[in-house]
């Protein structure tokens, strides 16, 4: 089944209406309820199921919508929302009180009554999906035409079994014995093993990279049994371990002729919350990584990620995060806004324009001036030495990720402007240029997204970059932010100053190496993506790369 990785830009606030409407609207075309009131509540969960495939049509979640103040005629308790291929929905309509916020809580899988317990399957060989219990909530939600992103968390525990089979013959199945299969759920759907439940056996599911099973959080001493196709059973008792909710634990198993060696790893893989057993509580991370599923969640927005042939993880979507204190601009004279809306071609195909729609932001992300991309305020970059120190900065990227360096860029596409030497061994260098086609064949999803061109800090207005009359139906160029300072012909970092050659007069312009995608060719095979110098007041997209 094809993975579906959701990317949601966030809820759109609706204006307040002057009257209270019932929750369910029999006739959405009735003028009395036209416009904002006639909106179906839709939800996109910011995670996929533990089956490592997407939610499927007919999958259902239980949803409760609780307004902050009572809304006449509105009631939404444990409603069944069904997945339609892109979001979960029901017949529930938003109330018309556009200034009243709500808290949305949801869980999977749906049941007729709000569950207070959940029992996993004892035989999970056909998949762990039916044993996966997830739940989430989102507060301060206003009525919206967009699907509401609700961050879900795994409430149970996953075990991954890495098996090395040195014995003759194949394995038939693997069983962990002694764990409790039933969890009790509190009002927030936090799970704990039912103390009155009897221990049982769980047969593991064989996935692409190991065996998996789901069970409630608990302290347990497993007995592991491996069954061969020849009918042999090899058994090994294990030490006691405490399994926490939302975390994955690894059991390494070595099967030798007549012998089984089993070790429960003290490391916890990042199934959800991560962390280490027995250590101090870690500082919470602002990113939830699901690299094995091809996505991360950052500030409640899901981004596709891909490990490319340079052996690095890259975001395969542009960043769509607005840092605190900034408001995206849609005015070319806002030369120090820091963050701008993305661009699109206007309806007349005569120029570029800002795209303020939720769909546009979700698809293309925002445009960032370099100082903001690198974690500063506009005007916060004052010296060349300071700029040099920003190479590899996290900036506005997630924890453990950074704004690309020139090394990242050359290692990926091979070519950049002088004096950077070409790397002919780069995996996406086609012999002449970095190739967008080669990148996208491996899932990078690169395009020319345009930019707001502001030459330096003396300019009072910017211009749209990316539209050309010959390729009027699309944006055909752009610039992406980077973190390495531009070099002069001698290979030294360089800047220009308000008074020529006088650093004390302050920075006039400084450039950072970023990407420059170009689709101004008649053949897609000729689309290029090379490294270029980007002036620090130019606003372009950001793609983050994971720290090694």
**The tokens of 383 are what?**
């010296």
Place of tokens 């030294």: 492
**What per-residue confidence (pLDDT) applies to 7?**
29
**What per-residue confidence (pLDDT) applies to 49?**
52
**The tokens of 227 are what?**
């069954």
Confidence of residue 393 (pLDDT cuts 50, 70, 90): very high
**What per-residue confidence (pLDDT) applies to 208?**
72
Distance (Å, whole) CA 13 – CA 11? 6
pLDDT higher than threshold 50 for residue 207: yes
Question: Options 3.40.720.10, 3.90.1150.10, 3.40.50.150, 2.60.40.2620; which CATH number does 31-153 get?
Answer: 2.60.40.2620
Instruction: Give the DSSP letter string of 96-127.
Output: S-TT--EEEEEEES--SS--SEEE--SB-TT-
Helix (H) / strand (E) element for 406: namely helix 406-413
Q: Give 158-196 pLDDT, tens digit per residue.
A: 998 888 887 767 888 999 999 999 999 999 999 999 999
Among 17-26, 38-47, 163-172, name the one with the lowest average pLDDT: 17-26
**What per-residue confidence (pLDDT) applies to 277?**
25
**Is beta strand 148-150 parallel, antiparallel or unpaired with respect to 40-45?**
parallel
Percent of the chain with pLDDT over 70: 86
**What per-residue confidence (pLDDT) applies to 3?**
29
**What per-residue confidence (pLDDT) applies to 149?**
85
**What per-residue confidence (pLDDT) applies to 402?**
96
pTM of the predicted model, to two decimals? 0.56
Continuous H helices in 191-320: none
pLDDT higher than threshold 80 for residue 17: no
**What per-residue confidence (pLDDT) applies to 213?**
93
Distance (Å, whole) CA 398 – CA 290? 13
CA distances from 193 to 109, 219, 423 (A): 18, 9, 56
Q: Give 233-256 pLDDT, tens digit per residue.
A: 888 888 788 999 988 888 888 877
State the average pLDDT over residues 3-10: 30
Q: Give 259-308 pLDDT, tens digit per residue.
A: 655 544 433 333 443 332 222 334 457 888 989 889 999 988 899 999 99
pLDDT higher than threshold 50 for residue 35: no
User: Best-predicted range by mean pLDDT among 140-144, 262-266, 408-412?
Assistant: 408-412
More confident residue, 152 or 38: 152
**What per-residue confidence (pLDDT) applies to 376?**
94
Answer for the pair 83, 62: CB distance below 8 angstroms, yes or no. no
**What per-residue confidence (pLDDT) applies to 539?**
98
More confident residue, 311 or 14: 311
Distance (Å, whole) CA 384 – CA 382? 7
Distance (Å, whole) CA 373 – CA 483? 9
Q: Give 312-321 pLDDT, tens digit per residue.
A: 999 999 999 9
Question: Options 3.10.20.30, 3.10.28.10, 2.60.40.2630, 3.40.50.720; which CATH number does 157-284 get?
Answer: 2.60.40.2630
Cβ neighbours for 319, distance < 8 A, ≥ 6 positions apart:
303, 365, 366, 368, 396, 397, 541, 542, 543, 544
Instruction: Give the DSSP letter string of 181-204.
Output: -EEEE-TT--EEE-TTSPEEEEEP
Q: Give 82-132 pLDDT, tens digit per residue.
A: 988 778 999 999 998 778 999 999 999 999 999 999 999 999 999 888 899
Q: Do domains 31-153 and 157-284 have the same CATH topology?
A: yes
pLDDT higher than threshold 70 for residue 366: yes
Instruction: Give the DSSP letter string of 442-507.
Output: TT------BEEE--STT-S--EEESB-GGGTTSB-BB----SEEPB-TTS-B-EEESSTT-GGG-E
Average pLDDT, the chain: 85
Confidence of residue 548 (pLDDT cuts 50, 70, 90): confident
Distance (Å, whole) CA 317 – CA 296? 11
SS3 149: strand
C-alpha triplet 538, 428, 534: angle, nearest 5°? 10
**What per-residue confidence (pLDDT) applies to 425?**
96
Confidence of residue 483 (pLDDT cuts 50, 70, 90): very high
Place of tokens 């007919």: 58
Answer for the pair 471, 448: CB distance below 8 angstroms, yes or no. no
Q: Give 496-520 pLDDT, tens digit per residue.
A: 999 998 998 999 999 999 999 999 9
> Which backbone phi and psi does 93 adopt, to 5 degrees?
-110, 145
More confident residue, 270 or 353: 353
Preceding omega of 419 cis (within 30 degrees of 0): yes
Q: Where are the domains of the chain?
A: 31-153, 157-284, 310-546
């Amino acid at each position: 089944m094809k993975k579906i990785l959701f990317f949601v830009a966030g809820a759109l606030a609706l204006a307040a209406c002057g009257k209270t409407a019932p929750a369910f609207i029999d006739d959405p075309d009735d003028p009395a309820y036209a416009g904002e009131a006639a909106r179906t509540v839709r939800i996109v969960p910011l995670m996929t199921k533990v089956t490592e495939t997407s939610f499927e049509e007919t999958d259902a979640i239980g949803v409760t919508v609780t307004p902050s103040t009572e809304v006449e005629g509105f009631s939404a308790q444990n409603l069944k929302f069904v997945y339609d291929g892109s979001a979960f929905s029901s017949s529930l309509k938003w109330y018309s009180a556009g200034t009243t916020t709500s808290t949305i809580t949801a869980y999977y899988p749906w049941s007729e009554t709000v569950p207070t317990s959940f029992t996993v399957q004892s035989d999970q060989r056909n998949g762990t999906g039916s044993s996966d219990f997830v739940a989430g909530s989102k507060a301060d939600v206003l009525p919206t035409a967009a699907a509401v992103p609700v961050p879900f968390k795994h409430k149970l525990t996953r075990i991954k079994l890495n098996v090395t089979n040195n014995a003759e013959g194949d394995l038939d199945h693997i069983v962990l014995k002694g764990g409790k299969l039933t969890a009790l759920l509190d009002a927030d759907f936090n799970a704990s093993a039912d103390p009155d439940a009897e221990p049982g056996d769980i047969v593991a599911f064989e996935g692409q990279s190991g065996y998996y099973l789901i069970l409630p959080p608990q302290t347990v001493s497993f007995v592991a049994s491996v069954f061969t196709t020849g009918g042999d059973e090899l058994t090994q008792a294990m030490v006691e371990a405490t399994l926490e909710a939302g975390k994955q634990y690894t059991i390494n198993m070595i099967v030798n002729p007549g012998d089984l060696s089993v070790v429960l790893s003290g490391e916890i893989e990042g199934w959800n919350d991560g962390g280490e057993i027995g250590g101090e509580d870690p500082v919470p991370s602002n990113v939830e990584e699901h690299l094995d599923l091809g996505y991360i969640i950052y500030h409640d927005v899901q981004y596709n990620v891909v490990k490319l042939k340079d052996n690095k993880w890259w975001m395969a979507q542009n960043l769509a995060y607005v840092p605190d204190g900034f408001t995206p601009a849609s005015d070319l004279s806002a030369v120090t806004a820091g963050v701008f809306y993305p661009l699109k071609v206007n309806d007349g195909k005569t120029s570029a324009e800002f795209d303020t729609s939720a769909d546009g932001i979700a698809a293309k992300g925002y445009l960032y001036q370099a100082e903001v991309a690198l974690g500063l305020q506009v005007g916060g970059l004052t010296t060349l030495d300071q700029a040099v120190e920003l190479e590899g900065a996290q900036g506005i990227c997630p924890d453990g990720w950074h704004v690309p360096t020139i090394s990242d860029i050359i290692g990926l596409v091979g070519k950049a402007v002088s004096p950077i030497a070409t790397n002919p061994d780069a995996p996406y260098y086609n012999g002449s240029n970095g190739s967008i086609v080669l990148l996208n064949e491996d899932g990078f999803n690169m395009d020319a997204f345009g930019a707001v061109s502001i030459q330096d800090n003396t300019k009072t207005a910017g211009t749209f970059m990316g539209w050309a009359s010959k390729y009027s139906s699309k944006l055909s160029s752009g610039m992406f932010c980077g973190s390495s300072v531009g070099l002069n012909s001698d290979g030294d970092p360089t800047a220009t100053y308000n008074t020529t050659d006088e650093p004390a007069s302050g920075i006039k312009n400084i450039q950072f190496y970023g990407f420059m995608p170009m689709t101004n060719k008649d053949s897609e095979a000729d689309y290029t993506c090379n490294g270029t110098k980007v002036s620090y007041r130019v606003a372009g997209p950001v793609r983050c790369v994971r720290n090694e």
